[in-house]
Amino acid sequence: MPLVRISLKRGRPPAYRQAIAEGVYQALRDTFDVPDKDRFVTITEHDGDDFIFDRSYLGIDRSDDFIIIQLTVSNTRPREKKQALYRRIVEVLAESPGLRPEDVFINLVEVLPENWSFGLGEAQYVRG
């Protein structure tokens, strides 16, 4: 846990996409106590006509570099950790691959720990 889904406009090189995945993982480790090797990420590229977003919603100036990061996590963390995560993701992605904070949209989806199975048909986070 967590499950990370990253969506962006098609055309970025593999190193750019990898930097985003690595940056989000680093931010999760820094703020959410995510353990080593707990990394499950999908990256989806979209043609311009299939990647629709408002360029100025809430007064934020978004560019063609806009990305959407959706994180599915267990509902075990307080608001302060969530806010720290959002800030850290933006900080790390500004460093590499050089994304502007305005172009980073984050959606956190919380689920109960029993809603995870990492394989073997077992709910690994269920005790007993």
Mean pLDDT in consecutive groups of 10 residues from the start of the chain, 128 residues: 94 97 97 92 96 97 98 94 98 98 97 86 81
Question: Is 110 a domain residue?
Answer: yes
pTM value is 0.91
pLDDT for position 57 = 97
CB-side neighbour CA atoms (13 Å) of 53: 24
Kindly state whether residue 120 falls inside one of the protein's structural domains. Answer: no
The pLDDT, as a whole number, for residue 128 is 64
Examine residue 36 and state whether it is found in any structural domain, yes or no. Answer: yes
Query: Does any domain span residue 29?
Result: yes
Query: Looking at the domain assignment, is residue 121 inside a domain?
Result: no
Cα 100 to Cα 40, 75, 114, distances in angstroms: 24, 28, 36
Is 122 within the bounds of a domain?
Answer: no
Indicate which residue of 2, 35, 101, 113 is catalytic: 2
∠14-93-45 over CA atoms, to 5°?
40
Walk across the sheet containing 3-9 and list its strands: 40-46, 3-9, 67-74, 104-111
Query: Does the active-site annotation cover 2?
Result: yes
CATH number of the structural domain spanning residue 82:
3.30.429.10
Q: How many angstroms separate the CA atoms of 73 and 76, rounded?
A: 8
pLDDT recorded at residue 48: 86
Structural domain span for residue 103: 3-115
pLDDT of residue 24: 98
* 90 within domain boundaries: yes
Count of structural domains, the chain: 1
Is 38 within the bounds of a domain? yes
